[in-house]
Amino acid sequence: MELAIRPIKKEDAEQVNELRRMEGIMENILGLPTETILKTEDYILKQDDLRHQYVAVLKKDRSTELIVGTGGLHLNPLPRMRHSGSIGLMVHTDYQGMGIGRKLIEAIIELADDWLMLTRLELEVFADNEKAINLYQKVGFEVEGIKRKAAIRNGRFADEMLMSRIKNIE
């Protein structure tokens, strides 16, 4: 099987929706078990110059692809903050720890650095999601702070960590 990172397309909606609602992912991305394929499709169709989304696909053969992750970059729409963007990432639970998340985040960083000239990337991650935090730190993100009781996860309030990566301007 071959892994490819490519832009998302409308036909990906069903697999992306399944991924978003997957136990082990849904609770870490602020998803809900009631998210519909129509909502996912609508999100995909609304991609514009401020929103960029990749999928990680395993190619089983020429015509069969399995989506095993997604990564997105959302640019700040405010003119004085256009140098920054926020990212989101998710990887299928059966494929975590295999370098897929790293390939997705590297594709996002390349887009941000080499094509959009962003100087600040930021993200929020649950403070107890050690695997994700380690990945983000490996690609240059640093902790900026903790948002206490920022979200509800599995019937409890959970803290989120704010992390950023500042690109040195040459």
The pLDDT score that the predictor gives to residue 170 is 60
CA 7 from chain centre, in angstroms, equals: 13
Q: What is the CA radius of gyration of the chain?
A: 16
Nearest Cα to 144, choosing from 72, 96, 59, 84?
A: 84
Q: What is the pLDDT of residues 31-45, one digit of tens each?
A: 888 999 999 999 999
Q: Please, which residues bridge with residue 121 across strands?
A: 85, 165
Q: What is the pLDDT of residues 108-119, one digit of tens each?
A: 999 999 999 999
User: Which structure tokens are listed for 13?
Assistant: 């909606």
Q: How far apart (Å, rounded) are the C-alpha atoms in residues 82 and 65?
A: 34
Rama region for 152: left / alpha / beta (φ>0; ψ in -120 to 50; rest): beta
Q: From 1.20.120.450, 1.10.10.10, 3.40.50.970, 3.40.630.30, which CATH number describes the 2-118 domain? A: 3.40.630.30
Instruction: Report the largest interatomic distance among the alpha carbons of the chain, rounded to a whole angstrom.
Output: 47
Average pLDDT along the chain: 94
> Cβ distance 84 to 121 under 8 Å?
yes
Stated pTM of the model = 0.91
- Return the C-alpha torsion angle 58, 60, 61, 64, nearest 10: -80
